[in-house]
Amino acid sequence: MTRVTVIGLGSPFGDDRVGWEVAERLAASARVTKLGAAVTLCRAPGGELPRLLARAEAAILVDAVRAGGLRGTVYRLWRPDPAVLAEAQVSSHGLSVRSAVELLQALGEGPQAWLLYGIDLGAGGAGELRRDPLVPAVDRVTEAIVQEIAGWRVAAGK
């Protein structure tokens, strides 16, 4: 079992790609490799996410969200209650992420520690990943996740 698993949610298209962009940057990072974290992409949270989370000791999810904030706003939710993951409030995949979390909780499985990073797409329709302000948000989340992984490893004595 991997100590920390990072799961980039989304798709390869448009703004919904921000979760994948963060995951791809982390997968290419020598710092993340040295820390021993696993990084994966998840396109179908309802089908893939329970399996990915069930195998993780600690998990970090990263996704595009529509939470009513300004475009590029970053949210960090520590082990959010499934009710917080309602589609209208958080993730662009909200119902599927919520269902996956509820399933694992009902089975008594899943990571002991996990959090969700969301990057708000703002109002309006999804477009192509643009320089302003999503890319700086991707940069901030990528670095924050590296720090989270390092902190969890130190706390675990690894």
Report the alpha-carbon distance of residue 17 to residue 84 in Å, rounded: 22
Q: If you average pLDDT over residues 129-150, what whole number do you get?
A: 86
pLDDT digits (tens, 9 = 90+) for 31-78: 999 999 999 999 866 677 888 888 788 889 999 888 888 989 999 988
pLDDT at 97: 66
- The region, left, alpha or beta by phi > 0 then psi within -120 to 50, assigned to residue 115 is beta
Q: If you average pLDDT over residues 78-97, what whole number do you get?
A: 52
Query: Which region among 3-7, 9-13, 111-115 has the lowest average model confidence (pLDDT)?
Result: 111-115
Question: With 60 as the cut, is the pLDDT of residue 85 above it?
Answer: no
pLDDT at 143: 97
pTM listed for this prediction: 0.82
pLDDT at 100: 67
The domain that holds 92 is classified in CATH as 3.40.50.1450
Higher pLDDT, 134 or 108: 134
Report the alpha-carbon distance of residue 147 to residue 92 in Å, rounded: 25
| HSE-CB for 98 with a 13 A CA cutoff | 15
Question: With 70 as the cut, is the pLDDT of residue 87 above it?
Answer: no
Query: How does 65-98 read in b/e, with b if 16+ C-beta sit within 10 Å?
Result: bbbebebbbbbebeebeeebbeeebbbbbbebbb
Query: Range of 14's domain?
Result: 4-155
Q: How many domains does the chain have?
A: 1
CB 27, CB 146: distance < 8 Å: no
Mean pLDDT of the chain: 79
